[in-house]
Structure 1
Amino acid sequence: MTDKPSAPETSREKFDAPALDAVSDAVAGNWVDNRAPAWTRPYLRLSRADRPIGWWLLLLPCWWGALLATAQTGDLSARTFWILFGCWIGAILMRGAGCTWNDITDRDFDAAVARTKSRPIPSGQVTTRQAAIWMVLQCLIAFAILLTFGKLAIGLGILSLLPVAIYPFAKRFTWWPQVFLGIAFNWGALLAYAAVAGELTIAPVFLYLAGIAWTLFYDTIYAHQDTEDDALIGVKSTARLFGAQTGRWLKRFLIMTVIFFAAAVIEALAERSLAALLVGLCGAWALGVHLLWQLTKLDIESPETCLRLFRSNRDAGLLAALFLAIAVFL
């Protein structure tokens, strides 16, 4: 883009005048605003450290993949714990790097949207060059962790950079940018499974597809916060595409999520033990029930409700992870 779009008028008064030293949609009372040294805050905000839900949603498919592989083999070792821990640190770093890249590429769009114009680059807290250096630093540290995960996982990790690089541009050429987000955000299901098992089978592929459907569910809800502004500046999303039919589409994504998650469990645990299989299937059931609860509370006209439901997906993903963790011991 060569011309910076003018800021659109919006009816969302709560986003119109964010505090100078804060981001408008950050969690109230977050540690970045209250405890981090002042000079670090713009960089931590670039990484969305004031909004932890993003790294949770990146981490949980990794934990699903690692736990499914461990439940399949029944071999819980120190290496498994390292992979789970490494995925946690790596998710924080790569989510931070991905968000920094997103803010670099979307800086003109962000300046034109009430909810995002307080972000570090459009608000002038950091330069594009400083943001790029911060992005590279996060990637390098994450790569050092990845090097301990084995050859197949390393290859998958490097390959994951492709969808990460493409995603910020997807909203400019397709009504389905959430698909590209799902491809990028759930890659960890494949990577972590490969790190534990040393191979890929159809089971993590099913898990990956479940994660993509889940992302379509929660990020469509998230995107309903910005439909007015997105329409003014020409940004595409499933929220704008579905409109009043969003509930019907979310039901489809819910069903797909549960079916693919259950298929992954059946493929991986059918020959392990009946108890492990049933508990793993309870993970698919619990995930589905939580998504169904979100549907009952959904109000696409309320940005506050959409944000609250979006954030609740941490608990949905943790429920599924919990049942997979229990299956490890059966």
Structure 2
Amino acid sequence: MQPQSPTPDATASGQVADAVRGNWVDRLAPEATRPYLRLSRADRPIGTWLLLLPCWWGLALGMLWDQSPRWEDLWIFIGCGLGAWLMRGAGCTWNDITDRDIDGSVERTRSRPIPSGQVSVKQALAYMGAQALVAFAILLTFNAAAIALGFLSLLPVAIYPFAKRFTWWPQVFLGLAFNWGALLAWAAHTGSLHWAPVILYVAGICWTLFYDTIYAHQDAEDDALIGVKSTARLFGEASPQWLRAFQLLTVALLALAVVAAAAPRGTGAALAVALAGPCAMGLHMGWQLRRFDPDDNPTLLRLFRANRDTGLIPLIFFLAAVLA
């Protein structure tokens, strides 16, 4: 089944095919800003959530590890939110610049601002730089360890758009970029790294492999025609088994990260509450697996978007454990 195409009126107004219908960009944003907001995916907020939630996981487990929540953590919480919005926008702009020819050949992406002619490459580069500069200013309010990790995060962000050209596992590179915030936010709170955020980071990568394989099945036919690689194409009919493996790895590694963070100094109650988070997350991932149909693109998109809730579930338990 092909992705849902925009209506003629939507196409004329510049609406992107896979954007949420009636989103605030299409309804409320000044017309001149809409192509740029679409370029940064402001009309499709799920990506910001998926970039942000590992940051908040790292912050919560950092507070659980040292048993020392502070008022400055509120700014880390807010700063991660602002930074995730900006860097997701900058990363998507970079992705669309590098993929402009590919996007024009795929039904779901040909309505994006660059291939549809709403924004030029030079304008996109300028917009990407502006977003990155504001995000850099926010990063400078954190400690030295977090700033250093922020600079290092640019490497996987820069490489990811090219990964689909040379590997069947581009989702790994997306995971490397999208879960970096687990390391950065932990360091912003504690001032250093530890095994717990590293394990958390790997758990996040497994989660990314889960949700982005679901997402990539929307484009599997077009990707095959133009030679773009993905785990969806690699796994094919075996995708449910692979998704189950990623689910189990995510839950197991997330639980191990919780033990590494909470066991040394936390109470038994805090550890029990925090461990309930990975279990509940696994149940939500299982719900997605039961509804997975590689030939039903609208359902694939709904499942992908449902991963905002998937990531919020353990965060609620982690924050409750801090208070336990």
The aligned residue for residue 277 of structure 1 is 271
**Mapping for residues 1-330 of structure 1, pairs under 5 Å:** 12=2, 14-15=4-5, 19-21=11-13, 22-271=15-264, 272-330=266-324
Distance 2:67 2:4 in 1: 50
What displacement does 1:209 show?
Answer: 0.5
Q: Secondary structure at the match of 1:91?
A: helix
Partner deviation per Cα, 1:209-262 (whole Å, 9 max, x = no partner): 000000000000000000010001110000000011000000100011011100
CA distance in 2, matches of 1:329, 1:20: 51
Q: TM-score, normalising length from structure 2?
A: 0.97
Please give the TM-score of this superposition, normalised by the length of structure 1. Answer: 0.96
Task: Kindly state the Cα deviation for residue 149 of structure 1 after the two structures are TM-superposed.
Answer: 1.0
1:16 shift after superposition: 7.0
> Does 72-81 or 108-117 show the bigger shift?
72-81
Work out whether residues 61 and 186 of structure 1, in 8 Å CA contact, stay in contact via their aligned partners in 2: yes
User: Aligned AA for 1:264?
Assistant: A
- CA offset digits 1:11-51 (Å, max 9, x no partner): 62732765222000000100000000000000000000000
The equivalent residue for 1:6 is none
Root-mean-square deviation (Å): 1.0
Q: Percent same amino acid at aligned positions?
A: 62
Q: Tell whether the 8 Å contact from 1:16 to 1:115 is kept in structure 2 after alignment.
A: no
Stretches of structure 2 lacking an aligned partner (at least 5 in a row)? none
The count of aligned residue pairs is 320
Please give the alpha-carbon distance, in whole angstroms, between the structure 2 residues aligned to 1:85 and 1:100.
23
Secondary structure of 1:148's partner?
A: coil
1:76 deviation in Å? 1.8
